[in-house]
Amino acid sequence: MPRQITAYSNPLVKHVRDLRDKRHRRESRQFLAEGLRILTEAHETGRIPRLLFFAAASAHHPLVERLIAAVEGAGGEAIETTPDILSKLSGKDNPQAVVGVFDEFATPLDTLDRSKAGIWLVAERLRDPGNLGTILRTGDAVGAGGLILIGDCVDPFSVEAVRASMGALFTVPVVRSDWDAFLAWLRTGPGTLVGLSLQTEHDYREPAYPAPTFLLTGNEAQGLPEDYEAACDLLVKLPMLGKADSLNAAVATAVMAYQVLASQRG
């Protein structure tokens, strides 16, 4: 039976609110996700929040009822609260109907099965949570096997990244690795490493992209380091016909991912 919390001073409210801070997430190994769509997608993949906050007005929505039952069935706690507290938890003036607290999860690099997908996304020093979330959505859309984050990337469990992923954080495996470990793993089996770069004459539409293709996108401001480019099997660029010298990292990744998908479909 859900309990009620209506006081801002409740310690649980403070704990959940503090999950918007990276240090607190790291210490607690938990993160925040909001919205009925995102939590429903998480539920469908088997991810159940440890805590579920919901407003009384949404308590009888069929999907909310399913979430409450799932949380309580898994030993978690469902909590009815006020719209004001939901707003405080999410940091938004117009809060979603539900807010969930999940335990962080990780996919080790050596557990990936590269044969399960023709496309894999790799991002190096990605700094913007919106870009990370959008790349995850792209990965979900093209059936990518996963997203491998290289180096000092933005936290995929930040509120902004989770929100931007629109649930794809729960459907696309996310791996964190350093460059040397990733490259060593990649070279133990099949896989073509394709880097997005302005330092090449290869138009992205020209090559064939055999499965599995690992599509490498660099840092938003600096692109790929020279030694990373040198390690790629192929460098390609997207033609820039206007005055801009490059596309947004997430947009470029999406364009390339669909080109790889088209190539592999023949």
In this prediction, residue 251 has a pLDDT band, given cuts at 50, 70 and 90, of: very high
Q: What percent of the chain has pLDDT over 70?
A: 97
Question: 93 or 150, which is more confident?
Answer: 150
pLDDT computed for residue 97 by the predictor? 83
Q: What percent of the chain has pLDDT over 90?
A: 83
- pLDDT tens digits for 186-237? 999 999 999 999 889 999 999 999 999 999 999 988 999 999 999 999 999 9
Half-sphere exposure of 109 (CA within 13 A, CB side): 17
Question: 56 or 95, which is more confident?
Answer: 56
Q: Where are the domains of the chain?
A: 3-103, 109-265
Question: 6 or 155, which is more confident?
Answer: 155
Amino acid, res. 43: H
Pairwise CA distance, residues 8 & 154, whole Å: 30
pLDDT computed for residue 247 by the predictor? 75
H/E/C letters for each residue in 45-105?
Answer: CCCCCCEEEEEHHHCCCHHHHHHHHHHHHCCCEEEEECHHHHHHHHCCCCCCCEEEEEECC
By the 8 A CB rule, do 98 and 67 touch? Answer: yes
pLDDT computed for residue 95 by the predictor? 64
Give mean pLDDT, residues 84-108.
87
3-103 and 109-265 in the same fold: no
SS3 187: coil
By the 8 A CB rule, do 176 and 106 touch? Answer: yes
Q: Is the pLDDT of residue 57 over 80?
A: yes
Pairwise CA distance, residues 3 & 223, whole Å: 50
pLDDT computed for residue 167 by the predictor? 94
User: Is the pTM higher than 0.85?
Assistant: yes
Q: Taking all residues of the chain, what is their mean pLDDT, rounded to a whole number?
A: 93
- pLDDT tens digits for 21-37? 999 999 999 999 999 99
Pairwise CA distance, residues 163 & 3, whole Å: 26
CATH of domain 109-265: 3.40.1280.10
Q: Is the pLDDT of residue 93 over 80?
A: no
Q: Is the pLDDT of residue 177 over 70?
A: yes
Identify the architecture of domain 3-103 in CATH.
2-Layer Sandwich (3.30)
In angstroms, how far apart are the furthest CA atoms of the chain?
Answer: 63
pLDDT computed for residue 245 by the predictor? 67
